[in-house]
Structure 1
């Protein structure tokens, strides 16, 4: 996909807004080579059901398998780099009040230099104890891609097994991160929804929440999504193409 002119209405909204909220999904990181959750079920992991790898029940059945899967996913992220869209948001954030809330469990926004107020679905790099809940530094040991099961490290406080920091199927969102995302959209003048399919709730409800408080909503996505009808403007481009063009036009 080649660069297209930034819609003039989107430029005007971005220029006039003093508070912007950016909501990002898997499409934000796709151009960095990060596969979506189900697309990552390849190779060694292709025969496993996602529910076995991302649920409390799966963890209870085989925590070594789950820890091995998430260590592998974290390694894929470490090998990737922020794309031009991530870097554009950092440049914009350095100029105005811009809040970023993301569904992504990677750290590419931060590695591009942005401050992220909310990882609503958790982070690959924020493991916590499955028993006492204390957070710890991520496991940085080398990953053997031919091994699926890895024993989780022990909690430095209670000795219990550490678990991945991502939110699993059937688990509530971390309340502080969710409330931060809600606060951002409720106080924004402009909300950009970038690279999210709009099918995972409650995150998918944030654009409607923004509209209800008077914000203008712009969708940046190459395809139609479940939340396209909530947007004031729909710009059919990708994050790595559209965001640098938008920021460069301000």
Structure 2
């Protein structure tokens, strides 16, 4: 028996990288997983790779009007929701001099508003004792040149984790922030200029105590831990899975 047998889980941005690995890990632990994405083709491919334990939902979390599709799919399936991983988000490099209003709004709409309104929207579906897992970033604990807006957005998400843990405690709902270090995903590699992918990964590895880049399945294992009863006495926490990047 899996640690999440009979449970329902939601992973936003679940079609690639950390999101897909987490959705797969949750399904392997016994959960039925609802995964979201913005492109129907990648959604279908993700669902096919997981199998009948997955349901794909086309939804852009930065647009609150599209969140109803998530609620409708989970409601139609029945059983409420036992775990949420707000993985959808992202950002691009821009120095203070380069930041534009569009860059700021896009980053905060995806990472901050997208996280807040997703959790708010599914709140009535959350079963008592459910687990909410927010996607943090080591950049919120460091001063990385050209990544200020993204780091600030993730610091806001970390703050949500503390507040929501207190607000939802009466229902036994736990809220924790998962903080990956550099993980080899299309999103991370995509930050590099053309031809500079290997150099980017090499530079990121230099800051990791374990001397290597993380893999998506390693983050997926941590998501299962936070979603399962194994983490039953954790809430309001910031859990680093970063290879020691900001710990040493």
Q: Tell me the TM-score normalised to structure 1 length.
A: 0.31
Q: Larger % of strand: which? A: 2
Q: Is the radius of gyration larger for structure 1 or structure 2?
A: 1
Q: Larger % of helix: which? A: 2
Q: Tell me the TM-score normalised to structure 2 length.
A: 0.31
